[in-house]
């Protein structure tokens, strides 16, 4: 189709719009109201709200403080997990060292040997290092049995001792703050 064929349609549409506008009666009062509102709008143009910089600053400072606290807490939790994991890895070696020293001292008899005495000092230094980071050894002899903190390996009747009292400790337990790293292995009175 050529461009000339489209022109009559365009002109025809414009004529239809003009006829519709001519047919509708125009109310002079409506035109005056529209003009008046247009002028009011120009005079009372909505102001662009400026951001409250003090509020924004306080919010940013609070968020920064929260991030710092969260990061500090995350570091403390990660550090505690690392300490507990290292302690769990070292505890069997500590137990073996204690057994070896007990066996060596039993063979030596009553005489003092400098080698076992020196190794015992090294063992005490290692236990002291664990204590300094917050890991404590506990031997609950005489306490009431608590299955959350103790592991009963045997139950034997004991004269003069109430049932449920720990009479003997086979292996001491270890705890880090409130967490039990290893429960103490104990004998409980029946």
- For the stretch 132-154, pLDDT in tens is 999 999 999 999 999 999 999 99
pLDDT at 33: 56
The 10s digit of each residue's pLDDT in 150-169 is 999 999 988 888 889 999 99
Confidence of residue 190 (pLDDT cuts 50, 70, 90): confident
Confidence of residue 175 (pLDDT cuts 50, 70, 90): very high
Architecture of domain 135-190 in this structure: Roll (2.30)
Mean of the pLDDT values across residues 108-119?
75
The 10s digit of each residue's pLDDT in 59-112 is 999 999 999 999 999 999 999 999 999 999 999 999 888 888 888 888 876 656
Q: Where are the domains of the chain?
A: 53-133, 135-190
pLDDT at 159: 87
Distance between CA atoms of residues 155 and 158, nearest Å: 9
**What are residue 152's DSSP bridge partners?**
186
User: What is the Rg, in whole angstroms, of the alpha carbon atoms belonging to the chain?
Assistant: 44
pLDDT of 38 above 60: no
pLDDT of 3 above 70: no
Say how many C-beta atoms besides its own lie within 10 A of residue 120's C-beta. Answer: 15
**What are residue 137's DSSP bridge partners?**
174
For the domain bounded by 53-133, which CATH number is listed? 3.90.20
Distance between CA atoms of residues 46 and 40, nearest Å: 11
The 10s digit of each residue's pLDDT in 17-34 is 455 444 545 555 555 555
């Amino acid at each position: 189709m050529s461009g000339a064929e489209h022109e009559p349609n365009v002109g025809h549409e414009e004529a239809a719009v003009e006829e519709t506008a001519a047919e509708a009666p125009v109310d002079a009062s409506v035109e005056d109201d529209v003009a008046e509102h247009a002028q009011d709008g120009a005079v009372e143009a909505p102001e662009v709200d400026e951001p409250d910089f003090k509020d924004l600053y306080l919010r940013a400072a609070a968020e920064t403080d929260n991030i710092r606290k969260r990061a500090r807490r995350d570091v403390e939790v990660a550090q505690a997990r690392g300490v507990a994991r290292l302690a769990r890895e070292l505890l069997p070696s500590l137990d073996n060292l204690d057994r070896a020293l007990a066996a060596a001292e039993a063979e030596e008899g009553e005489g003092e040997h400098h080698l076992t005495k020196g190794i015992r000092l090294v063992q005490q230094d290692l236990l002291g290092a664990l204590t300094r980071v917050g890991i404590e050894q506990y031997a609950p002899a005489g306490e009431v049995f608590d299955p959350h903190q103790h592991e009963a390996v045997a139950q034997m009747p004991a004269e003069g001792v109430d049932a449920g009292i720990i009479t003997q400790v086979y292996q001491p337990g270890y705890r880090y703050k409130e967490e039990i790293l290893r429960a103490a292995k104990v004998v409980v009175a029946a």
